[in-house]
Amino acid sequence: MAIEKQPSCEDDEEPALLPVDVALQRLASMVLPLSQTETETVGIREALDRVLSSDVLSPIDVPSYTNSAMDGYALNSRDLPAAGEVTLAVLGTAWAGRPLEVTVARGEAVRIMTGGMMPPGTDTVVIQEHVQALYDTANENLQGNSEVTHIIADGTTAPGRNVRQAGEDIKAGEKVIATGTQLTPAHIGLLASLGVDQVQVYRCLKVAFFSTGDELRALETHAGQALGPGELFDSNRHTLFAMLKRLGVTLIDIGVVADTKEATRQAFIDASSQADVVISSGGVSAGQADFVSATLAELGKVTFWKLAMRPGRPLAYGKVGDAHFFGLPGNPVAVMVTFYEFVQPSIKRLMGCTETAPAQFTARCESRLKKSPGRIEYQRGIVSAAADGEVTVRVTGKQGAGRLTSMAMANCLIVIPAENAGVEPGDPVTVHPFHGLM
Ligand code: AMP
Ligand code: MG
């Protein structure tokens, strides 16, 4: 008698598996941004990593006054000769922050420093290296320096050169940062440069998370103690904590939950009453001790997905009351992969971000990667620049779904499409870096 085999995660082609892009599309239609009323006003230093809930319009012109881009002499371009040289009288010096209160007439010029305000009557700066300066040697100061009284210039400087016009970078009233932007250090500096000290942002998202599994020992109670047979330290909750912290959400740690129906139920009620998003790890496969999906079906609306991906085939998504729920697999690497690919974009979308897809680029793969067609694969990689300047990526050794070391060495995921049948050294591959650039 032959054994009748059931579909399993060992299969590459399993008819019921849901392609990752389809799952992402379904998620995007169910996970909607916070409403425009759920906002607060914060100081710009508190606004780092927060998401703008209204456009920032510039209250001023930038630069706010027409100024010199170089050290030199401000003059009227009509004084510059088509051929030969001209001698101009120098009226004084315009420093940055100390304008010279004069109107420059024909035949006159003003010495000007970078950032100095252009005096009325001038439109061009001739850099100091391009003039011959004449000094008032009869009136030396104590340091033995004397004032420039005249300059001799030629016609080689084009009219308007070396001048930054008021409003050249930004016009007053112009949109500078759009709603839905997650603010980076450059945005904080930009806001300050406009004199803006407060902005409107969406409120912080509250995310609750817990681990499931009778085999797990929590660090809070078991750190430094010997593990009993069949026991292991709970790592997923700490990985989740760290990944969520990077997203700038408010964290609610529910702890380790035992593999019983009652404990799982209680954890869901506890988490969903406090949070916008609930994340669990473990207990979502079809095992006897897997209570997450069953509990969810009882308490809320759950979709249990078998994804065409490796690692991380089982994933549950649903709603418990108003809270969005993500049931991640138990395997530590699968937790990280499903978090980066599914949970992170969803949380960003809920936070009001308009940019939610993971950053991605193409790199030249230096490793040979074994793969059979059927499921999209996320291998752990290290991207770096090769000697020729090209971006290359190599795999971080053995790729077992439980090996957190392969993840800890990595700085990106190498994403290999479902239909791909293996990567040869030199092939271009798609890479998702773990962190953004800023
Ligand atoms: P499960 O999906 O609950 O069957 O878990 C799959 C595998 O991941 C098992 O080997 C678990 O022991 C392991 N695992 C589950 N949760 C955790 C956790 N929080 N920390 C470390 N390993 C875990
Ligand atoms: Mg389990």
Q: Cβ-count burial of 11 within 10 angstroms (0-12 exposed, 13-18 middle, 19+ buried)?
A: middle
> Among 210, 400, 236, 219, which residue's Cα sits nearest to residue 291?
210
Tell me which residue has its CA closest to atom 3 in ligand 1.
282
Per-residue pLDDT reduced to its tens digit, 346-396: 999 999 999 998 899 999 999 999 999 999 999 999 999 888 889 999 999
Sequence-ordered strand ranges (E) for 82-147: 85-94, 108-112, 124-127, 132-135
Per-residue pLDDT reduced to its tens digit, 97-123: 999 999 999 999 999 999 999 999 999
Per-residue pLDDT reduced to its tens digit, 218-260: 999 999 999 999 999 999 999 999 999 999 999 999 999 999 9
Cis preceding-peptide flag for 63 (omega within 30 of 0):
yes
CB 287 less than 6 A from any atom of ligand 1: yes
Q: Cβ-count burial of 88 within 10 angstroms (0-12 exposed, 13-18 middle, 19+ buried)?
A: buried
CB 282 less than 6 A from any atom of ligand 1: yes
CB 215 less than 6 A from any atom of ligand 1: yes
DSSP string spanning 10-54?
A: T-S--TTPBPHHHHHHHHHHH--PPPTTSEEEEETTTTTT-BBSS
Reported as a pLDDT band with limits 50, 70 and 90, residue 10 is low
Alpha-carbon distance of 187 to 56, in angstroms, equals 11
DSSP element (H, E) containing 6: none
Q: Whole-model pTM?
A: 0.85
Alpha-carbon distance of 316 to 284, in angstroms, equals 7
CA of 262 to the centre of ligand 1 (A): 19
Per-residue pLDDT reduced to its tens digit, 292-341: 877 878 888 877 788 899 987 888 888 998 999 999 999 999 999 999 99
CB 72 less than 6 A from any atom of ligand 1: no
CB 259 less than 6 A from any atom of ligand 1: no
DSSP state of 138: G
> Among 293, 423, 282, 311, which residue's Cα sits nearest to residue 362?
423
CB 256 less than 6 A from any atom of ligand 1: no
Nearest ligand, CA 286? 1
Tell me which residue has its CA closest to atom 23 in ligand 1.
330
| Closest atom of ligand 1 to CA, residue 329 | 2
Domains of the chain: 20-34+205-351 (3.40.980.10), 51-61+170-202 (3.90.105.10), 67-164 (2.170.190.11), 361-433 (2.40.340.10)
CB 63 less than 6 A from any atom of ligand 1: no
CA of 287 to the centre of ligand 1 (A): 12
Q: What is the pLDDT of residue 287?
A: 66
DSSP state of 375: S
CA of 211 to the centre of ligand 2 (A): 9
Percent of the chain with pLDDT over 70: 95
